[in-house]
Amino acid sequence: MTAPVANPSGIAAADCQFCGPAIAAAAIADSADGLVFAVRDRHPVTEGHTLVIPRRHAAAYFDLTADERRAADELMQRIFRTLASADPRITGCNIGVNSGASAGQTIFHVHYHLIPRRDGDTADPRGGVRGVIPGKRGYPYVLKA
């Protein structure tokens, strides 16, 4: 059994900014089963940066049900295909979840970040999500193609 992820904010569903009607009204897509929905990030890292959010209040990734994780995955795939079809410059994607304050979570209602990437949007993208720890993004060896 996994230990629960700390929710230092103590925010309950009634006070959660991802549980209210305003965020649901901003939805750009819903999963087929209605378990999750998507909105554009208010502070996008790249054009098309999208959040996928479960409708049920769950503080952290490890609180999600298998059905919610499956619905999120299916919705992210659909959104990515739609974005990539509309913008041929999209050549990749980062998907991330910050789970717990020590991992950088600031809104304690779990949500996925889907961040479309384009060739040249950063000088050296190697290491991707490893960059969450300063100095760890690169590799101590050279990757050969």
Q: Among this protein's residues, is 113 annotated catalytic?
A: no
∠ CA 113-115-119 to the nearest 5 degrees?
Answer: 165
The active-site residue out of 43, 57, 111, 113 is 111
- The residue length of the chain stands at 145
Q: Which residue bears the tokens 């995955």?
A: 73
- Give 20's contacts (C-beta < 8 A, 6+ positions apart): none
Residue 52, CA distances (Å) to 3, 40, 47 in order: 24, 9, 16
Residues marked active site are found at 111
